[in-house]
Structure 1
């Protein structure tokens, strides 16, 4: 045989089969000494003869008992083994990939375990071995060797046979766990030695045609190779450098100090968790096996098997193992099955020697206490406003979306992850083109429309605010709200605080000075009907943000701790959308903090303090409305960015309100005197709105334009609701 290395796997298998043939020949010669002509024995296999009994209790003969023919065959075996080992060494030096040698290396097999694998592969390479094994087992229906025959062929001595039995007796051994067919270790009434030896189909596929993923893994698993194209990192580069440096230090540490690593990384969808791991695997020239746990069958019977198959695939590819959507293994109310499933998951990870990443959309307090592995945790937070602005501009250029949108303002309004920004721009481009086509302005490639971009942004947010809040569609602008100049200026200033967040916090460095409290909080105080709710809509409309009115009946609870729990849920969901939160009629919840005289006072103060804390943590806009400003504690007011007092409108502003309430299309009689109405009746804007609407229905019923009489009649009804009665002289003229 040539001492040159192997060129390909099939050349290697040819030598291995030649070696196997010689071992089979030696085994046959040994048996033949005890049964000279087994073919002439018509009762062979049906009873145990005296000669066979002696052979069975005698075991292997010593080398001195071997005849000359056996010695010759044994010499050929030793020569072949040395030749194969020499050629394998040359192949390793030349970098030739040989699946069997690679499999043995990555799983850490002994030489005997490697021979057993080759024995199982033989029937897949040449069908002659089916008949040979059937002959040696006295049963031609057997197509594969059993464990006993495999040990006789693979093990040169009884001592090796006894040691190799543990390969099959230990279910957690790597050969049994990852390479052999599951049926090999299933009893089915058979003794261990009589069970058939069969390789798992995936291992056979790998040895014959390596490279593809196990098809049983389905859509749950994908592999990323180091030379695959991946998107560049535009934010969080410092975290990537930190990861690389730390892992390099661990790898380069002395063997006694080296640790296996696991990382638990969480962050909102689109934060770039997978992208970080992709860049890391590329930097270390490692494949990356990504497993979506949401697509893995969680049934108890199959979950452990699937995870075992996944880990085997990671070992075969020597890949970094990455599990995404880890939260599916940590349900809010775990039952016994979920706990057992999690325990099996941890056990499987303990058996994996490579690097592991656990990615989740939220923080999970891991119950995994890994053996001989260092587990580190990190939150991949939403980029700061400067980072978000760069992302908006970069992604807009990538898709060729021309626009006059101010991306600095967008980055301040929406605390989006990179993935959300990319999806929003892509979707907005489609919406803009669709609207342009409808207007006859061209189709694909049209400039981004502002309304289309905001619509796309809202679709990136998945929250559950509707459970305890009601969405209000903003319909008013600054021109619709009738307020004194001072209050209007305060509203505009508040909106500007959101629009120019990027300049102040990022460009001017105020971000580093504030650990929290970067949101916007406003308190609207004034009598009912003075425009507080309308002003909340003006703010949301001007900033083009969603407005949610919190239903206090769903928030306040008589049970201790429930109010805080509800508030936490509201602010947690709002954080995802950056929505404007509007708490109306907040006197009951946010009244003056009292002296602690009993437990009820104590917990009422805790609720107020908790609200203050959540408002300061929230980076969006919170609007509170109250009718009684004097009931609000001074410490509470200190933490509010803007306290806007809504005065009861005087006659000048009441006249403007009356005029603004009637739409241009409404038929208005000439006898309507707005100045008279404003001076005569001291009612707020909310009451005026009710009066105008009621008078319009009265006019519609009579088939006339809206007259002064309809309005005065409606005023009477409106005042009667609050117990006020008009004197006859105040309305008899109409």
Structure 2
């Protein structure tokens, strides 16, 4: 027979079924030597007769005429096998896709294992085989071949049968792991030979020419094909070139020295980890299978089965295998189940021969020791300010929006990854469209500033609320009454954030400073002089979140706990670039004392640790203290701005009195702000309390706010601190 290539898979299966028919016929002929004619034996399968027993133990001579018939069938079978092999080779040369041959190749199946797969597929192609298998197994209720029948059909010699048994005995074998259906019912009462040979449903679907991803794996997996359109790499292009160069060098090395590769990439959400892997796969024209471990772990009881199916899918598609959310497998306090799950995950990865990428949001020290695989690690860091500025500009243009906010300012305020910048602009466009009137023209929509900042805050997921309280900034520059010197210092501090891009990026100071690029300020002054208000003004001017650190949640009597709490605060703040406001810092950051005992030693360590974290933090840290003399001098040298808040004199007290009353408040004509400022020496915080208290007194009396209400409130406010007004100081009112 002349071998011509197959046109499609079904033509191939037709020849395979013809070959199977001949093998089944040969098996039937051999069975005739051992069993009587089933047509004349109405009790076949119900008992073993004496004649059948003699035949089974081989005490009867073989019919020579039947042996000659077997030899003829064997010749036909061998000729058919050679014919099919020739046609498969021709099909391969012409690029015709044959699922069975492809699967055998990618999974590395032996010729006998491929026959087992075809035998299991037969019942899916033609139902006649259900009756044939039932007949040959003396059980018409058994519609699939068992292992005994499979060995008899697929193997030619006893030696082949003994070797092929290991395929089913070894659970880690490729046939058992990837091709056969897992045993859902208990077969412990059965021998190995009596167990059914069942193909996995996914394998059946693939062999019947279905190239879709296993539906059972959705939505945990995503297949990305090489011809998919990808967003360009706007940052970290050097890493992509480095990755390709390394692969090229590896491919040029001798085959004996090549190793399988795995890459562990980590970085904040939106850093571009998946995009890097997509570009890599597309460059090498390889499909990419992305699996989200967080979704896989939703069904933890089936974790091993799911991961095994994912690996099988990657093998079927010859894809680059990528797992995201790797940190889900590394909990902070792993239990025994988590450790076992992680170990099994590593074992399954060892069974995959292709490229592997493991992506994580944060670094975890992997305890995976791959077999014959090189594991490389790399962090995708947040882009520098120049890179972030370019991203703000490019994404705004792509989304068709224009913003009044300078991209350079936004890049300096928010240490965002590319994904966070894109999502922030997308959300801001939606918020702005919702808040404005419809526009008739098609010009780029201007983003509202408040909408843009709201969208930016939504990109940040942190846990600062555990040890800090968020303060909504409500004050502006006009609300704060300070001397020009202090106000200028505050404005200069804000400008240091606004023009970070110019100084660090354009003027090259980024290369000169390894750390210490954040902004630290110390507000020192008596209570009520405007320190907390100034922190709100700074946060409001820069439109950043403000968190007041709760010292009761930070300071701990246990050694090392204070440092741990500080580390957590700065780590979470780094995600949002929030303004950290430490009030009453004397309790935590006082003078470093002479070491007289272990308590002094560890107190000094806490202070040194705070200095270190403040220098590493690239956001804004504001410290407030009532006693500047209690702050260590070495500590002060590391502060960018030390702003002293003096007790207000009568001139500034008068301005504070006037600014505290809102325009809608009903004020009596007898209210004399100058008299109040000159007569009573109280700070702004006390004035605020007095104003509010007097307003309630007036509301209760049902009249405008009078001097008598204010003087009465002043008496109460001073009594809190132990001061008593003389009668002549208030009797006029």
Specify if TM > 0.5: yes
Partner residue in 2 for 1:221 = 221
CA distance in 2, matches of 1:643, 1:678: 27
Query: Any residues of structure 2 matched to 1:667-682 within 5 Å, and which?
Result: 667-682=666-681
Residues 1:232 and 2:237 aligned together: no
Over 3 Å counting, the alpha-carbon distance change for 1:168 and 1:64 in structure 2 is: farther
Contact 2:261 2:356 (C-alpha < 8 Å) held by counterparts: yes
Partner residue in 1 for 2:183 = 183
Q: Which moved more, 1:70-79 or 1:162-171?
A: 70-79
CA distance in 2, matches of 1:27, 1:519: 82
Residue 7 of structure 1 and its aligned partner are, at CA, apart by 1.3
Over 3 Å counting, the alpha-carbon distance change for 1:523 and 1:65 in structure 2 is: farther
Partner residue in 1 for 2:479 = 480
Contact 2:54 2:60 (C-alpha < 8 Å) held by counterparts: no
Partner residue in 2 for 1:649 = 648
Contact 2:167 2:176 (C-alpha < 8 Å) held by counterparts: yes
CA distance in 2, matches of 1:150, 1:359: 43
Over 3 Å counting, the alpha-carbon distance change for 1:627 and 1:119 in structure 2 is: same
Partner residue in 1 for 2:518 = 519
Query: Any residues of structure 2 matched to 1:136-285 within 5 Å, and which?
Result: 136-183=136-183, 187-285=187-285
CA distance in 1, matches of 2:443, 2:294: 36
The number of residues matched between the two structures is 733
SS of the residue corresponding to residue 382 of structure 1 reads coil
Contact 2:320 2:354 (C-alpha < 8 Å) held by counterparts: yes
Task: Please list every run of 5 or more consecutive structure 1 residues that lacks an aligned counterpart in the other structure.
Answer: none
Partner residue in 2 for 1:567 = 566
Partner residue in 2 for 1:123 = 123
SS of the residue corresponding to residue 362 of structure 2 reads coil
CA distance in 1, matches of 2:341, 2:249: 34
Query: Any residues of structure 2 matched to 1:62-101 within 5 Å, and which?
Result: 67-101=67-101
Q: Which moved more, 1:319-328 or 1:28-37?
A: 28-37
CA distance in 1, matches of 2:440, 2:601: 64
Over 3 Å counting, the alpha-carbon distance change for 1:728 and 1:298 in structure 2 is: closer
SS of the residue corresponding to residue 218 of structure 2 reads helix
Residue 251 of structure 1 and its aligned partner are, at CA, apart by 3.2
Deviations 1:52-84 (A, max 9, x none): 445544599999997332222211111111111
Contact 1:184 1:197 (C-alpha < 8 Å) held by counterparts: no
SS of the residue corresponding to residue 256 of structure 1 reads helix
Residue 619 of structure 1 and its aligned partner are, at CA, apart by 0.9
Query: Any residues of structure 2 matched to 1:310-321 within 5 Å, and which?
Result: 310-321=310-321
Residue 464 of structure 1 and its aligned partner are, at CA, apart by 1.6
Over 3 Å counting, the alpha-carbon distance change for 1:353 and 1:551 in structure 2 is: same
CA distance in 2, matches of 1:156, 1:361: 55
Residue 551 of structure 1 and its aligned partner are, at CA, apart by 1.1
Aligned residues: CA RMSD: 2.2
Contact 1:60 1:158 (C-alpha < 8 Å) held by counterparts: no
Contact 2:325 2:361 (C-alpha < 8 Å) held by counterparts: yes
CA distance in 1, matches of 2:255, 2:61: 44
Residues 1:103 and 2:64 aligned together: no
SS of the residue corresponding to residue 219 of structure 1 reads coil
Residue 190 of structure 1 and its aligned partner are, at CA, apart by 1.0
Residue 40 of structure 1 and its aligned partner are, at CA, apart by 1.6
Contact 1:214 1:313 (C-alpha < 8 Å) held by counterparts: yes
Deviations 1:334-386 (A, max 9, x none): 11221121122112112122222111111122222222222222221111111
Partner residue in 1 for 2:597 = 598
CA distance in 1, matches of 2:695, 2:170: 87
Contact 1:525 1:629 (C-alpha < 8 Å) held by counterparts: yes
CA distance in 2, matches of 1:57, 1:259: 53
Over 3 Å counting, the alpha-carbon distance change for 1:642 and 1:62 in structure 2 is: farther
Partner residue in 2 for 1:717 = 716
Residue 701 of structure 1 and its aligned partner are, at CA, apart by 2.7
TM-score (normalised: structure 1): 0.96
Partner residue in 1 for 2:296 = 296
Residue 291 of structure 1 and its aligned partner are, at CA, apart by 1.0
Deviations 1:586-608 (A, max 9, x none): 10101000011100001111111
Deviations 1:164-204 (A, max 9, x none): 11111111100011111223996341111111212111111
Over 3 Å counting, the alpha-carbon distance change for 1:443 and 1:241 in structure 2 is: closer
Deviations 1:2-59 (A, max 9, x none): 3221111111111111111121222222223444634223333334445544554459
Over 3 Å counting, the alpha-carbon distance change for 1:279 and 1:181 in structure 2 is: same
Contact 2:647 2:683 (C-alpha < 8 Å) held by counterparts: yes
Query: Any residues of structure 2 matched to 1:326-365 within 5 Å, and which?
Result: 326-365=326-365
CA distance in 1, matches of 2:585, 2:153: 84
CA distance in 2, matches of 1:60, 1:420: 82
Partner residue in 2 for 1:625 = 624
CA distance in 1, matches of 2:144, 2:60: 23
Residue 627 of structure 1 and its aligned partner are, at CA, apart by 0.7
Deviations 1:122-172 (A, max 9, x none): 111111212222221122222122111111111111111111111111111
TM-score (normalised: structure 2): 0.96
Contact 2:36 2:52 (C-alpha < 8 Å) held by counterparts: no
Contact 1:176 1:185 (C-alpha < 8 Å) held by counterparts: no
Contact 2:180 2:197 (C-alpha < 8 Å) held by counterparts: yes
SS of the residue corresponding to residue 183 of structure 1 reads coil
Deviations 1:502-528 (A, max 9, x none): 111111111111111111100001111
CA distance in 2, matches of 1:257, 1:512: 39
CA distance in 1, matches of 2:203, 2:189: 26
Over 3 Å counting, the alpha-carbon distance change for 1:146 and 1:185 in structure 2 is: farther
CA distance in 1, matches of 2:677, 2:547: 33
Contact 1:612 1:639 (C-alpha < 8 Å) held by counterparts: yes
CA distance in 2, matches of 1:638, 1:169: 72
Partner residue in 1 for 2:636 = 637
SS of the residue corresponding to residue 189 of structure 2 reads coil
Partner residue in 2 for 1:308 = 308
Over 3 Å counting, the alpha-carbon distance change for 1:174 and 1:355 in structure 2 is: same
Partner residue in 2 for 1:489 = 488
Partner residue in 2 for 1:434 = 434
Partner residue in 1 for 2:506 = 507
CA distance in 1, matches of 2:337, 2:234: 41
Partner residue in 2 for 1:6 = 6
Q: Which moved more, 1:92-101 or 1:347-356?
A: 347-356
Partner residue in 1 for 2:450 = 451
CA distance in 1, matches of 2:441, 2:715: 56
Q: Which moved more, 1:491-500 or 1:347-356?
A: 347-356
CA distance in 2, matches of 1:251, 1:64: 59
CA distance in 2, matches of 1:538, 1:248: 55
Over 3 Å counting, the alpha-carbon distance change for 1:667 and 1:717 in structure 2 is: same
Partner residue in 2 for 1:585 = 584
Partner residue in 2 for 1:389 = 389
SS of the residue corresponding to residue 181 of structure 1 reads coil
Contact 1:148 1:194 (C-alpha < 8 Å) held by counterparts: yes
Q: Which moved more, 1:98-107 or 1:429-438?
A: 429-438
Q: Which moved more, 1:150-159 or 1:135-144?
A: 135-144
SS of the residue corresponding to residue 565 of structure 1 reads helix
Deviations 1:272-300 (A, max 9, x none): 11111111111111111111111114556
CA distance in 1, matches of 2:184, 2:641: 74
CA distance in 1, matches of 2:62, 2:298: 54
Query: Any residues of structure 2 matched to 1:32-71 within 5 Å, and which?
Result: 32-35=32-35, 37-49=37-49, 52-53=52-53, 55-58=55-58, 67-71=67-71
Over 3 Å counting, the alpha-carbon distance change for 1:463 and 1:301 in structure 2 is: closer
CA distance in 1, matches of 2:668, 2:442: 47
CA distance in 1, matches of 2:70, 2:469: 90
Over 3 Å counting, the alpha-carbon distance change for 1:60 and 1:105 in structure 2 is: farther
Contact 2:33 2:62 (C-alpha < 8 Å) held by counterparts: no
Partner residue in 2 for 1:531 = 530
Residues 1:20 and 2:20 aligned together: yes
